[in-house]
Amino acid sequence: PQVVDMNGTVDYRITLTNTGGMSALLIVEDAIPGGMEYVNGSFISNISVSGPLISDGKIKYNLTLNPGETALISYSLKALTDGTKKNKLYVNGSFITSASVVVRDPPPEPSDDTESSGTSTRRTPPPCGWLPPNWGGTSSSASEEDEKGPVNYKLDNPPIVLVSLGSLNARVSSSQTSSGSSSSGSAGTGGQSSVGVAAASSGVTGLPMVVVEIMATPTQAETGTPITFIVRVSNIGDGPTKDLTLTVDLSSGLDYVKGSSMVGGLSREPENDNNKLSWSIGILDPGKAIEVSFRAELLATSGNFNVVATAGSSSDSVLISVKPRNKPTPLNPPPPAPAVVELKASASSLSDRAKVIIMVSSPTGAKGVKVIVTLDGSLRYVLGSAEIGNLPAKTDVSSSTLKWVVSISKGGTAVITFEVEPADEEVTDGTVRVFLPNFGKSVEVKVKFEPKQRGVAPPPSFHIQLPALPSIPWWVLLLPITLIPVIFAYRRKSKREVVMDYQALKWAVRRGILEDMLEDSEIYIPMETFNKLSKDYELMSVVEKYIVDRAIKVERAPKRWIIIEGVDSELSAVLGLADKKRAPVYIGEEELLKELKKRGFRVRLIKEAAPPIVRKDFP
C-alpha cells in the first residue's frame, strides 16, 4: 500500500464501464475508513449521477451506464489518524474491491547512508506485493529517478473481482493516489492500485480453484419464516472454470420462494427439482467471483439441519435451527353469566274446556328449564292436548301433575299450551299452579267454565220475509276472477326492464336504493354477473332474497355477445342480454362509461339516486 502522512489527502478514482448491450442501473456505496473524512467539494464525475450523499460513514451515489459508456469518478479523503486504512467499494449491494493506504505519524527520517552514498542502494520493498520499477539492480535510470523525486509503485498482479450484471458485463475498477507533506520529500506521493472486471478471460492456462461460501439470515427462526441466503462463488486458481454449476439443497426443510433469486444483482430463476436449486454459471475467470441470493420459507417444525451449497468440487453449508413458536398462554374463559328466566301464564274458556298458556322467556338464554304444573281436584288434564311451539309435546303426566323440560335461546320464549276440563258436571272453575323449581318462580291461574244448561227451552225464533232479488247469471260472478291475471299482467308490463352488472348492483346496495329500483323496474343479470356475485359473500347475503323471489332474474346471455376489446366477458354478456331485452344497461364504473362512449354507445350518467346508466340504440 502507499504511505501518506497524517493530515495528508488521498485522492481516489473509480472507473465503471458497461461493455454489454443493455443499460445498467448502479447503486454505489464507498465505505470511508475509520480515521479518514471526506473532503467537501472534492467529488467529480464525468457523467450525471444522483448524489453524492455522505451518510453513516459512506459515500453513496447512483448512476445509469448506457452500453459502451464509462464513468470516471474521483474524490478525496483526509487522513486524521495513523494506521492502515482500507477503503471498500460496493456496487448494487455486492463487495467489489478495496484499496489500502498506510498513514504514518511522525514520518520516518531519511537514512544518512542513503543520502551520503553516491551509488543507488537496494531499497526495502514495501508490503502487500507492491514492487518499484527496475527492481533488483542499480541503473542510471534509477539514480535519475531518485534525483527527480518520489518513486511510483505498481501492483504486479492486481486482484480482479467479477461484478455480474447478466448480459451487461459491467467492468468496475478503482485507483488511488495520495498527496501529503514529507520531511524527506520521497513519500509525498505513493503507489497506485486498480481492481476490475475484464470482459474476457485472462488467458492464463492454469487450473481453476473454486471456493463456495454460503450465509443465511436468520439462522434460527420459527416455522413459516422467510430466510435470506447469499452464496458467493470465487475462482482463486490460475485458470478459468468450464460449465460451472452452483447447486443448493433445500429439501431438508425449506421451500424456495419463487421470483426471489438474484444473480449478480439481476433477477434470474434457478432450476428447481423438489427444492434442489441449480444455477448455470459457466466460465468463471481466475480471481473472479459471483454472488447469488434468494429466499426460502422455513417448513420444518423442529430440529436443526444443514443447507449445502456446491460448485465444482467445493461446498459449504449453513446450519438452520427451528425455533419453537411461542404459544400464548390460554386465558381461562370467564364464567358464564347466570341464566335469567321470566314466567307468565293465562287461561281462556272453551265452553266445556279451558286452554292454559304458559310463556317462559329468557334474556340470557337457559337450558334444561323444568316446568311443573299442578291441577287442583276440580280439574282434569285432557290427554294429548299439550303443545310446545305449536308442536305436540311429550308430557310427563303423574296424577294431577304435568312436567316438561325446555331450552330457551338468548332473548327467546318457550310457549306451552294444554287443555283442562271439569272433573264433574258441577265444577265451574278451578286453579292451575305453574312452578319453575330451578329458578324459584311460580304463578297461579284461575280457570272458569261456562255452566251447562239443563231443561231450558230454546230461545224463540224469528222469520223475516225479504223481497226476491233478480236472478244473476253465474258467469257474471266469475268476471272479477278472470280479470285478476289481466290486472297482474298489466302491473308487470308497466315495470321497465333493465340489465345491471356486478359493480352497479354493489353501487345500488351500498346506497340503499335497490328496493326503490325494484318497485318500478325488473332487473336482469347474466350468469357471468351471478358468478361474480356468488363470490362476494357480503353482497350475496343482501341480494339472495331478491334472486330467490325472482325480483332479480338471472338469465343466460345470447350466444352472440357484443364483443368489446379491453373489457371482460361479464360486460360483453351484460350488453348481449340488454340487446336481447332491448333494455338499458346499468354500469357501476364511471371510467367504463367514458370508454363505452368512445366506442359509439349513447351514454348518460345519472348521479342522483341511481347508478350510472348506459343506453345504446341496438339494431
pLDDT tens figures, 247-276: 999 888 889 999 999 998 889 999 999 889
Give residue 245's pLDDT.
Answer: 93
89 is written with which cell numbers?
467499494
Instruction: Give the closest residue to 447 by CA, choosing from 429, 466, 427.
Output: 429
1 or 187: which leads in pLDDT: 1
Q: Euclidean distance between the first and final Cα of the chain, in Å?
A: 87
Question: Among all chains, which residue has been given the C-alpha cell 452500453?
Answer: 67
Report the pLDDT value the prediction gives residue 443, as an integer from 0 to 100: 92
| Lowest pLDDT segment from 240-254, 373-387, 460-474, 590-604 | 460-474
Taking residues 512-534, report their average pLDDT.
87
**pLDDT above 90 (res 292):** yes
More confident residue, 593 or 400: 400
Above 80 in pLDDT, residue 176?
A: no
Task: Give CATH superfamily name and number for 1-107+150-199.
Answer: Immunoglobulins (2.60.40.10)
Q: Which residues pair with 155 in a beta bridge?
A: 130
What was the pLDDT predicted at 310?
A: 93
SS3 label, residue 409: coil
| Least-confidence region, from 138-147, 298-307, 342-351 | 138-147
Judged against a pLDDT cut of 80, whether residue 113 lies above it is answered with no
pLDDT of 539 higher than 60: yes
Taking 3-state DSSP, the helix, strand and coil percentages for the chain, each rounded to the nearest 5, stand at 15, 40, 45
Mean pLDDT of 303-322: 88
DSSP-assigned states of every residue in 8-57: -EEEEEEEEEE-SSS-EEEEEEEEPPTTEEE-TT--EESS--EEEEEETT
Is the predicted pLDDT of residue 301 greater than 50, yes or no?
yes
The phi, psi pair for 519, rounded to 5°, reads: -70, -30
CB 192 within 8 A of CB 153: yes
Burial 335-352 (b: 16+ CB within 10 A, else e): eeeebebebebebeeeee
pLDDT of 359 above 80: yes
Domain chopping of the chain, boundaries? 1-107+150-199, 210-322, 342-448, 492-615
b/e sequence 83-114, b meaning 16+ C-beta within 10 Å: eebebbbbbbebbbbbbbbbbbeebeeeeeee
Q: Residue 26: which pLDDT band, with cuts at 50, 70 and 90? A: confident
User: Residue 185 has what pLDDT?
Assistant: 34
Same fold flag, 1-107+150-199 and 492-615: no
Predicted TM-score of the model (pTM) = 0.28
Share of the chain above pLDDT 70, in %: 72
Q: Which residues of 26-53 are buried (b: 16+ CB within 10 A; e: fewer)?
A: bebbbbbbebbebeeeebebeeebeebe
Q: Is 274 left (phi over 0), alpha (psi -120 to 50) or beta?
A: left
- What does the block give as the cell for 430? 278451578
What grid cell was written down for 26? 448502479
User: CB of 450 within 8 A of CB of 463?
Assistant: no
Give the per-residue pLDDT at 326: 66
Burial class, 252, CB count within 10 angstroms (exposed 0-12 / middle 13-18 / buried 19+): middle
**489: pLDDT confidence band, cut at 50, 70 and 90?**
low
**C-alpha cell belonging to residue 264:** 449478480
C-alpha cell of 72? 470516471
Output the CATH code of domain 492-615: 3.40.50
Q: Is the pLDDT of residue 137 over 60?
A: no
C-alpha cell at 5: 502522512
String of DSSP letters for 391-425: EE---EEETTEEEEEEEE-TTEEEEEEEEEEESST
222 contacts 322 by C-beta, under 8 angstroms: yes
- 193: which residues sit within 8 A by CB, 6+ positions away? 1, 99, 100, 155, 158, 174, 175, 176
Looking at per-residue pLDDT, the higher value among 185 and 571 belongs to 571
Cβ atoms within 10 Å, residue 23 = 12
pLDDT exceeds cutoff 70 at 147? no
For the CA atoms of 151, 156, 157, 160, what is the dihedral angle to 10 degrees?
30
Q: Does domain 342-448 have CATH number 1.10.340.30?
A: no
Measured CA to CA, the distance from residue 203 to residue 196 in angstroms comes to 16
> Residue 66 above 50 pLDDT?
yes
What is the distance of C-alpha 60 from the center of its chain? 32
pLDDT the model gives residue 105? 72
- Amino acid (one-letter) located at 380: R
Range with the poorest average pLDDT among 397-406, 420-429, 555-564: 555-564
Mean pLDDT value of segment 451-478: 60
> Could you tell me the fold of the domain covering 210-322?
Immunoglobulin-like (2.60.40)
Highest mean pLDDT among 94-103, 189-198, 208-217: 208-217
* Cβ neighbour number for residue 362 with a 10 Å cutoff: 22
Mean pLDDT in residue range 179-194: 34
- Name the DSSP class of 446: E
Q: How sure is the predictor about 464, in pLDDT bands with cuts at 50, 70 and 90?
A: low
Residues above pLDDT 90, as percent of the chain: 17
pLDDT, average across residues 533-557 = 86
> Per residue in 595-611, pLDDT tens?
777 776 654 544 433 44
Write the DSSP symbol of residue 126.
P
Tell me, what DSSP letter sits at residue 108?
A: P
For the record, the C-alpha cell of 570 comes out as 361479464
d(CA 122, CA 253): 62
**Is the pLDDT reported for residue 67 higher than 80?**
yes
Judge whether 222 and 325 are in contact, CB under 8 Å.
yes
Q: Which of 146-150, 343-347, 569-573, 584-588 has the highest mean pLDDT?
A: 343-347
What cell numbers appear for 182 in the block?
A: 514529507
Cα separation of 374 and 434, whole Å?
A: 7
